Structure 1
């Protein structure tokens, strides 16, 4: 990997060989010493010969930017290449010029597929055939699906309150799904213990340094798809913090390499019941480590990528906001009925956050905005029913319909 220079600790700057299996800096206990992949961008540009014409069929268009060896066959299900859609009705509702990047169209229905494809390609490169992660559901489904595709054994740790609907996918994909009697953070800690004990390859996004590199392809795509009309704001929900950090890194790279002329400001959105990154960004050190929100995909009490997420907000001149579960569910319904896009709660949270930012005067009327939907609503139909309301029951008689619509068409 001539285009990859090193893995660098985000806290102390210590460097590590990128050709080894390593998760965090040995100078810091626990998972505090997150590693960042550093590139030789002259080499990257020499390798990158694609036309930036807006035609993105998969994230592997940007293989020259990804930390994988040239001779390794990618583990892929056709991830990336998701559309960016004009959203005029929702934009009018919120008072902005709005577009939506619908990453719920990825193979297993979630943005995390971008990261999983890269991490399993790295596992193949390292010659490891057993993979693991902790997840509230989406990463588990993603890892299980790509494991089935690549011929890996997949062993998953999910918290006791993970939505049953999300567990159907990994079970169908043939993974071992281990329900931990505890929180996501406890499942996470257990997955790290078994990684050390058995030598399985760990996909956990916050500590696997190659994970965020896959997520940053959403930033590459956004930069290419908005080339010439870069938005004022780019909105992501935040859980562990690596998705917004990856999106910003990808967009910023294209700007730094003169592939696009501008960068957006980043707006990070967290649920009130899982607000650690927002609290850290605003200088509060007394964050509650117990997460409780309907948006299970961002229900993280102890985010491992707080440093990267806060750096993203600072570097971009951005901001963060908190939204309630009620606001998230209302946004899920609003997105669906105005634009026909079905998002799970974490995927709808950016819409709720944009509304909150408009009310607070953070985002001005008429500014251009792209919100990123990170997951499909079929991931959590129970919450969808809460957002959309109840089915109205009628008798099989025309009179009931006439009464309901008063004879209208």
Structure 2
């Protein structure tokens, strides 16, 4: 095994360390899954191995393989994830009253940000001669893991809450995964996936506990650091579910700054629905934190986030903060992003846009600051949610009269024949 650049796995609670070559998920010194592990690196080794040119050309996240916790002899299991463009958003910026750019990670191979983490997990599982991979999911991680398991030739078994969007459950089945709908919440499906992992020894991809998942996610921080080297944004905005996505981005961006690849770092803004706000509430030290998740943004419908500590640490270290928004705000943001910039995001992917609007209204983001919003999932993942925002299609007869009744009479170019069919 050759993991010379990985020093250890360190418990975020007690500081206990573990061999990174072993399959271990959390620190056994703590009850349940509280002892989340953090991957620690030898950055001198990484700096020596990383010889890529930071020119903004990123074909995939594996440009940063020197930073990823995989054996140097492992063959990456990849579908060319990462390398998503950073897009200007002039119409959206005008509407929100602040300079906004969009990193659209809904363009990843299975349509979501989670492909970054899954590629690393399945690479490690395959290299460790694992035969079966598993996870709990509200849909996106299920599809992502199923796709990459198919690519690697591994069996895939997924646990989802019974109310997960049907569209998200078709995709992993097309990839050949077993999808088991659990009569309960995401948190109950999650707990069952952990019990199954212990009982059967399957490799668990759950990003909240698998210490290597966040390491794949941090490539978005590397990419943003490279893409904004000339003008680092004041804010980077994510929706938050388990908390590992925003934590991963911060870790990646911070690494590039500490290695002097970039001169500055952004503030992180975490956005959660009002009905699933546990990380927000913990960050703002609310006395009561509700562990029930009720939101249409299923990808972040997490009542008991396992990476609250890492997420809050990212917010604090970056000088950022967290805001909550309503489900109606999310639906409005989904249509706003679509009609201004032609980007179709699922509800959780559009939540950062609602978060920017809320942060502007609350004086958190100033007029002269710059913002990058990361869209984490493609809209076709959840068409039912979008339908609530846009309503039904308009029915007409196949006549020009019906078109004229809707838009007014034509001012020329087509001869009007009253009542004629087209």
- When the two structures are superposed, what TM-score results if normalisation uses the length of structure 2? 0.96
Aligned partner of 1:112 in structure 2 is: 114
> How far 1:294 moved relative to its partner?
0.5
- Structure 1's consecutive aligned runs of 4 or more residues displaced over 3 angstroms after TM superposition are none
Aligned residue among 272, 275, 281 for 1:273: 275
> How far 1:366 moved relative to its partner?
2.6
Q: Is the 8 A contact 1:277 1:306 kept in 2?
A: yes
Aligned residue among 380, 384, 400 for 1:398: 400
- Across the two proteins, how many residue pairs are aligned to each other? 409
> How far 1:388 moved relative to its partner?
2.1
Aligned partner of 1:225 in structure 2 is: 227
Aligned partner of 1:288 in structure 2 is: 290
Are 2:170 and 1:168 equivalent residues in the alignment?
yes
Aligned residue among 349, 362, 382 for 1:380: 382
Are 2:56 and 1:54 equivalent residues in the alignment?
yes
Are 2:137 and 1:135 equivalent residues in the alignment?
yes
Aligned partner of 2:99 in structure 1 is: 97
* CA–CA distance in structure 2, aligned partners of residues 229 and 149 of structure 1: 37
* CA–CA distance in structure 2, aligned partners of residues 139 and 283 of structure 1: 30
Aligned partner of 1:407 in structure 2 is: 409
Aligned partner of 1:329 in structure 2 is: 331
Aligned residue among 120, 140, 154 for 1:152: 154
* CA–CA distance in structure 1, aligned partners of residues 325 and 204 of structure 2: 31
* CA–CA distance in structure 2, aligned partners of residues 389 and 333 of structure 1: 11
Gaps of 5+ in 2: 412-422
Residues 335-372 of structure 1: CA deviation (Å, up to 9, x unaligned): 00000000000000000000000000000113100000
* CA–CA distance in structure 2, aligned partners of residues 77 and 389 of structure 1: 35
> How far 1:389 moved relative to its partner?
2.4
- RMSD of aligned residue pairs (Cα, Å): 0.7
* CA–CA distance in structure 2, aligned partners of residues 223 and 390 of structure 1: 41
* CA–CA distance in structure 2, aligned partners of residues 213 and 101 of structure 1: 19
Q: How does 1:243-322 map to 2 (within 5 A)?
A: 243-322=245-324
* CA–CA distance in structure 2, aligned partners of residues 163 and 28 of structure 1: 34
Describe the SS at the equivalent of 2:215: helix
Aligned partner of 2:201 in structure 1 is: 199
* CA–CA distance in structure 2, aligned partners of residues 285 and 130 of structure 1: 41
Aligned residue among 6, 17, 35 for 1:4: 6
Gaps of 5+ in 1: none
* CA–CA distance in structure 1, aligned partners of residues 217 and 321 of structure 2: 20
Describe the SS at the equivalent of 2:120: helix
> How far 1:286 moved relative to its partner?
1.6
Aligned partner of 2:420 in structure 1 is: none
* CA–CA distance in structure 2, aligned partners of residues 143 and 47 of structure 1: 29
Aligned residue among 365, 369, 381 for 1:367: 369
> How far 1:320 moved relative to its partner?
0.4
Describe the SS at the equivalent of 2:270: strand
* CA–CA distance in structure 1, aligned partners of residues 150 and 273 of structure 2: 33
* CA–CA distance in structure 2, aligned partners of residues 408 and 61 of structure 1: 54
Q: Which structure is larger by alpha-carbon Rg, 1 or 2?
A: 2
Distance 1:44 1:408, change over 3 A: farther
